Amino acid sequence: MGLPQRLDFHPRVVQYGADNIAILSMVAAGLGIAILPAASSCHPRFLRLPELDGCEMPLWFAWRPDNDSPALRNLIGLVGETTGT
């Protein structure tokens, strides 16, 4: 069961945005609401809600196999530690 249903909220989705800027533009035009990451908080009408337990978003992580950057290795390690993968 998704987060909206657990909160007894049943939105009628009529359009999806390809990225956060498109989504914010639709919300600003009065087309609805959106749940966005904290990185979008610079928008003047952004309303920060308390953290919701069990609210997870998928995250895909891709890199070139020949990239031997120490920063990339550290990031991969951090992601692995954080996610338990």
How many domains are there within the chain?
1
User: DSSP 3-state assignment of 1?
Assistant: coil
Residue 50: the pLDDT is 74
- This prediction's pTM: 0.49
Residues of the chain with pLDDT below 50 are none
Residue 72: the pLDDT is 92
Boundaries of domain holding 44: 3-83
